[in-house]
Structure 1
Amino acid sequence: MAWMAWTWPTAIFFMVIATLLITFTVLAIRYPETPRTGVLGIETTRGDRLFITLLGSAFINLAWLGLVGAHQPYALIVCLIYAAAVFRWV
């Protein structure tokens, strides 16, 4: 990974994203679902909720970094709570 000057945390981040995408693709093929309407009033599928979760988590982490600074692992806890809420109610 030295050829791109990547760090292990960066590589792990992208591996987790790739794993999520593969997992959700397999789930969509094996267990097709019909879209559902949640609190946002729009129809969403698992993939839509994953996208909303990833996008929201990025904003949570950026806000955490700007407002709190260090201790970024605590932002992960906030992101996991946010993800559970999105997959439950959106």
Structure 2
Amino acid sequence: MFSWMAWTWPTALIFIGIFTAIGILIAIEIRTPGGDERKGVLGLTTTRGDRLFIALLGTSYIFLAWLGLVGQPVWAPLGLSIFWGGFCFWKV
């Protein structure tokens, strides 16, 4: 049924993580509406959803650049991506 895509456990965990993050943001938005707007170091006024999008987009660029320039293994870009995500939610 799902043979059109290579569904491996790492792929499933990525999608589960993204949908979990979106679910957490929905729960936070229901509890405290308004999006928690703030102006960060990039000069942008962002909400929680904007910061999640920037973090996910940056993470994909980190992994693609690492795979293009260095190759395997991908533990180092995982650490960089976790740092980038924390930075996005803390300062952006």
Q: TM-score, normalising length from structure 1?
A: 0.90
Q: In 1, Cα distance between the equivalents of 2:86 and 2:7?
A: 30
Where do 5+ consecutive residues of structure 2 fail to align?
none
Give the number of equivalent residue pairs.
89
For residue 76 of structure 2, what is the amino acid of its counterpart?
Y
1:56 maps to amino acid: G
What is the letter of the counterpart of residue 57 of structure 2?
Answer: L
| TM-score w.r.t. length of structure 2 | 0.88
Which residue number in structure 2 is paired with residue 54 of structure 1? Answer: 56
| Deviation per residue, 1:3-23 (Å, 9 max, x gap) | 334111111111111111111
Aligned to 2:81, which of 51, 67, 79? 79
Residue 32 of structure 1: CA displacement? 2.4
> Gapped runs of 5+ residues in structure 1?
none
Question: Bigger shift: 66-75 or 51-60?
Answer: 66-75
Q: Percent identity?
A: 47
Which deviates the most, 49-58 or 28-37?
28-37
Structure 1: distance between partners of 2:30 and 2:46 = 16
Of Structure 1 and Structure 2, the greater helix share is in 1
Matches within 5 A, 1:11-26: 11-26=12-27
Alpha-carbon RMSD: 1.4
Note the C-alpha offset of 1:75: 0.8
Q: Which consecutive segments of 4 or more residues in structure 1 shift more than 3 A?
A: none
